Amino acid sequence: MRKGAFLDRDGVLNRERGQHTWSLPEFEVLPGVPQALRLLQDAGWVLVVITNQSGIGLGLYGHAEVEEVHGYLRRALADQGVQLSDVFYCPHHPSKGKCLCRKPGSLLLERAMAIHGIDAARSVMIGDRDRDVDAAAACGVRGIRVDSNEALLPVVGEHVLNA
């Protein structure tokens, strides 16, 4: 079984703007993110993005826009030698009903672990909300809460690679 680094998107990988981020002009990969992910990748971690994209459920944007942003993220990271193993997102909004895939639900993490042979006990979820840490705890993954838009490189060095 492999160790996985599950990463929230908005506020961890890209700038949290305080509103839905769904178009390329608004999407900014945070400084140091490629370097931090490269360290994880080189140390044998499987890199998986787990993100809530409730704007789909609200009708603000569609799956195509989210896929375009995720394609850009993959290319930007690949240009720095980083390969994301997968990106999972929940399109539901809580006002439209309850689902199991929206964090703090753990379904997306569980799905990623099953698909990629990831060991929960050896894995981490890095997020900027309590719901990220709660989703991790629900399936036996260690959660690391960071401030939105915090530099990821020191977090990876201190809390993941040296843990």
Give tens-digit pLDDT for 87-146: 999 999 988 878 999 999 999 999 999 999 999 999 999 999 999 999 999 999 999 999
Asked, for residue 111, whether it belongs to a domain, the answer is: no
Q: Pick the catalytic residue: 8, 79, 128, 147?
A: 8
Report the C-alpha gap between 141 and 152 in whole angstroms.
Answer: 19
At residue 163, the pLDDT reads 62
Mean pLDDT, to the nearest integer, of 32-38? 97
Percentage of the chain modeled with pLDDT above 70 = 99
This prediction's pTM: 0.95
Q: Pick the catalytic residue: 10, 79, 119, 147?
A: 10
Asked, for residue 31, whether it belongs to a domain, the answer is: yes
At residue 157, the pLDDT reads 86
Mean pLDDT, to the nearest integer, of 8-25? 94
- Domain count for the chain: 1
Asked, for residue 126, whether it belongs to a domain, the answer is: no
Asked, for residue 105, whether it belongs to a domain, the answer is: no
Asked, for residue 53, whether it belongs to a domain, the answer is: yes
CATH classification of the domain holding 46:
3.40.50.1000
Active-site annotation holds for 79? no
| φ and ψ of 11, to 5 deg | 95, -15
Asked, for residue 42, whether it belongs to a domain, the answer is: yes
Percentage of the chain modeled with pLDDT above 90 = 88
Asked, for residue 113, whether it belongs to a domain, the answer is: no
Active-site annotation holds for 130? no
Q: Is residue 107 within 8 Å of residue 52, measured between CB atoms? A: no
Query: Whole domain around residue 65: which residue ranges?
Result: 14-99
